[in-house]
Structure 1
């Protein structure tokens, strides 16, 4: 027998707002910023100081947060224990799936997860959005050249090893927009690495554009790319800016996950 589907109203009644607020405060703590003062958390969260103080005091009482000698807040051991338990059976494909769902649902484009391999970028997951364009030719298991399309290019830009190997090869053309000149490709890779993301436009498939960002491992090496692709008309102006922002945010969050995965 199927489980009953809860209505939005029922879900709303079941949600405890204070818990959501407490969780949002915990999300501010990461490896780059492990300690926060009350004033810093108040400013970053947008909540009032009294609310932040009460929530953090509750988290301290629960054992999830500690106070430093200076009175600042830091994450306590139970959070690390729960995080470690979650990472035991987690891989990058599993971790990336919710982000791919979010990207596909938000923009209607097709979301991709690719990993580097000797002969090219391998697509290990794909999720179609609701836009009418179906990107044919890029499926799970497809091996793509590194010098075309946003996902492969961003991995090439962030990997000196791949770059030294790939640019020495002859670079075939797939459309009139494919970069086949080694010098021009090198300049493009430099700009992609500086920007932190790649945007492609009809360089692999005519009429298809994409945005990709790299997922980096603990040692800074590129382990994957996350991207969205669709009609070139949908990758311009403000729409493109929003896609870049969300793809980069997903990649940054997945990088933090990848840095914590067991080696």
Structure 2
């Protein structure tokens, strides 16, 4: 229900406030929050006061506001992602222990990859994927895996819109994209070099649920030109099989673990 001059609902305004916080803006004065949301200062102060009272926001010693513990508590109680993270974490740890580079778990949300888990090491390759961060579906190996296992209608919708070319290796043409998605489905993994960060390569495999639907992508990020695809793909597939079975999957993954035929890396 809208109760503002612009017709914007209270829920919409609350979402704008929550969405203003990110990795670069974890805490801020209310005046800054008003500027970032575009809401009138009086409205922002009023809503912030109510959210502080409910514990959805907290005020730090400097007077800045940030997301409150109560928000995390409420979201964690019934989020379907909590079960997925819990199922995947031991397998992510195993992959990370062997590869010694960034290991991530991503899901598809609003036509982007939303990362719900990331394990890193100081010596890891450059990686812009962060927990609760997002990347474009066409410009990361996790996104291409999730796109490859999506319905054709969804693929057509994604490829019908302009796709941003981040590097020379980013696939943006529908014909080449369709060819690559077919290769991913055939072999069961995506191996992409420098499609969003030139210095890094991503290798990803799908994770399935009890309905045999790809619900996540398990991924490692390694330095470009240091990909050991023949060794990494079986490791990722074994871990993805374990996660999938924990989620109730009882089928056969596309591209079995012992297959290590390498997809040509886009250059």
TM-score surpassing 0.5? yes
The C-alpha deviation readout for 1:157-212, integer Å capped at 9, x for no partner, is 01115313211111110101000101110110011011011101001111100111
Q: Is the 8 A contact 2:91 2:242 kept in 1?
A: no
The C-alpha deviation readout for 1:111-149, integer Å capped at 9, x for no partner, is 0000111231101110003534342x2111111111121
In the superposition, the TM-score normalised over structure 1's length comes to 0.61
1:128 equivalent in structure 2: 120
2:133 equivalent in structure 1: 142
Once the two structures are TM-superposed, the CA of residue 216 in structure 1 deviates from its matched residue by 1.2
Q: Is the 8 A contact 2:101 2:124 kept in 1?
A: no
Q: Is the 8 A contact 1:215 1:258 kept in 2?
A: no
Q: Is the 8 A contact 1:108 1:130 kept in 2?
A: no
The C-alpha deviation readout for 1:1-49, integer Å capped at 9, x for no partner, is xxxxxxxxxxxxxxxxxxxxxxxxxxxxxxxxxxxxxxxxxxxxxxxxx
C-alpha distance in structure 2 between counterparts of 1:258 and 1:164, whole Å: 29
Q: Is the 8 A contact 1:202 1:209 kept in 2?
A: yes
Q: Is the 8 A contact 2:112 2:137 kept in 1?
A: yes
What is the number of residues matched between the two proteins? 169
Gaps of 5+ in 1: 1-88
Q: Is the 8 A contact 1:201 1:232 kept in 2?
A: yes
2:145 to 136, 151, 154: 154
Higher percent of residues as helix: 1
Cα RMSD of the aligned pairs, angstroms, is: 1.9
1:41 equivalent in structure 2: none
1:3 equivalent in structure 2: none
Please identify runs of 4+ aligned residues in structure 1 that moved more than 2 A.
Answer: 129-134
2:164 to 172, 196, 216: 172
1:114 equivalent in structure 2: 106
In the superposition, the TM-score normalised over structure 2's length comes to 0.60
Gaps of 5+ in 2: 1-80, 251-267
Q: Is the 8 A contact 1:103 1:109 kept in 2?
A: no
C-alpha distance in structure 2 between counterparts of 1:253 and 1:132, whole Å: 25
1:241 equivalent in structure 2: 230
2:241 equivalent in structure 1: 252
C-alpha distance in structure 2 between counterparts of 1:149 and 1:179, whole Å: 10
C-alpha distance in structure 1 between counterparts of 2:174 and 2:220, whole Å: 26
Q: Cα 1:252–1:260, aligned 2, differ >3 Å: closer, same or farther?
A: closer
C-alpha distance in structure 1 between counterparts of 2:214 and 2:203, whole Å: 16
Q: Cα 1:134–1:206, aligned 2, differ >3 Å: closer, same or farther?
A: closer
Greater Rg over alpha carbons, structure: 1
Q: Does the alignment pair 1:224 with 2:199?
A: no
Q: Cα 1:249–1:260, aligned 2, differ >3 Å: closer, same or farther?
A: closer
